[in-house]
Amino acid sequence: MIVPYEGFGNEKKILLVGRVIRDNRVGVSNPEDSVWLNIKKMRRRFMSVVIPGVEVKAEFQGEEYFVKTDEEGYFEFKIYPKKAIQFPARWQQVELTLMSQVIRNQGEIKAFGDVFLPVGNIDFGIISDVDDTIIPTGAMRMAEMLKTTFAKNAHTRVPFPGVSAFYKALQKGTDGVESNPLFYVSSSPWNLYDFLHELLQIHHIPKGPIMLRDIGLSRTELISGSHSEHKLEQIRQILSTYTQLSFMLIGDSGQEDPTIYLQVVREFPGRILMIFIRDVHSYQHASVENISKELNGLGVEMLLVKNTLEASQYAFSKGWVLEKDLADIAQEKIKNEAENEQV
């Protein structure tokens, strides 16, 4: 099977990454799935058989492009269209076809990769972390993180209260049109892509390219190594693709987000509109405060927030979201908290 990851681009260049693997038969999840079934499916994600050295064809708006998968089955398309790209909608499809024969009688192997292209009046972009920013993970506590990752699925992993409404409000901005792009940059491995993609859909969090990292041997431009360097490289790619846009950065205090975002501000002066950091570890307060002072000296504010509503209230005070959307965020937060108590 071809597993395309959502790509992005502009009128000159499109980036699309994916992988060719043996069908791992994971399928979609259900709220009723048992812990053992969740563990079984997660094991299949991490034990996927990869298909190296095979050719994949991409077709986009009448043009064809060819690449081969690397030693871990990854392929990477950098498409430079020969003619002007048509922008009928902000999501376009790239048709992918496996050109090599892997097994006898394999038939035609196709997939369609979604690519984000900027359409309409865009106020700003949003780049968000995932673990402990959108969903509680316990990334600083290994036992808790493993239990959460393997025992639950996209239905039973519940985002922080109000996240869906907050991200929808940022996507709409102040003109009420869902045109501001969102990008999700995480240190989770690509093996979790389908899980995270499903989680965003189930919990109505706005669609956006999910940019994860390889935990194997590959070290290419878009599939990179260490936690901090991976996130930096992905954010550089985004800011370099949309040079006319300012961006909000959203993360948490659990790992290295404040430090990474400080480096982004240094490298891209004048491009970062605001930084929101979810307060998940109190012992990081001193470190976050020191970084915040340095950021203030660079003209960027970083706000440490206890919850989503606090971040949205500040966004409203700065004129980045609508008053109606602020009310929706508050209502969703209350609803989510009540649901979490029942669980």
**In 3D, which of 97, 110, 94, 130 has the Cα closest to residue 6?**
94
Q: Which architecture does CATH list for 125-342?
A: 3-Layer(aba) Sandwich (3.40)
pLDDT in tens, 170-185: 999 988 888 999 999 9
pLDDT > 90: percent of the chain: 59
Token readout for 243 is: 């040079």
Place of tokens 């909000």: 248
What pLDDT is stored for residue 218 in this prediction? 44
pLDDT in tens, 27-51: 787 777 778 777 777 788 788 889 9
pLDDT > 70: percent of the chain: 91
pLDDT in tens, 306-317: 999 999 999 999
What pLDDT is stored for residue 220 in this prediction? 46
Range in 30-39, 87-96, 125-134, 167-176 with the lowest mean pLDDT: 30-39
Q: Cα separation of 67 and 100, whole Å? A: 11
Segments making up each domain of the chain, as ranges: 2-116, 125-342
Question: Which has more pLDDT, 291 or 217?
Answer: 291
On whether the 2-116 domain is CATH 2.60.40, my answer is: yes
Range in 45-54, 64-73, 93-102, 107-116 with the lowest mean pLDDT: 45-54
Token readout for 315 is: 């966004």
Question: Which has more pLDDT, 138 or 246?
Answer: 246
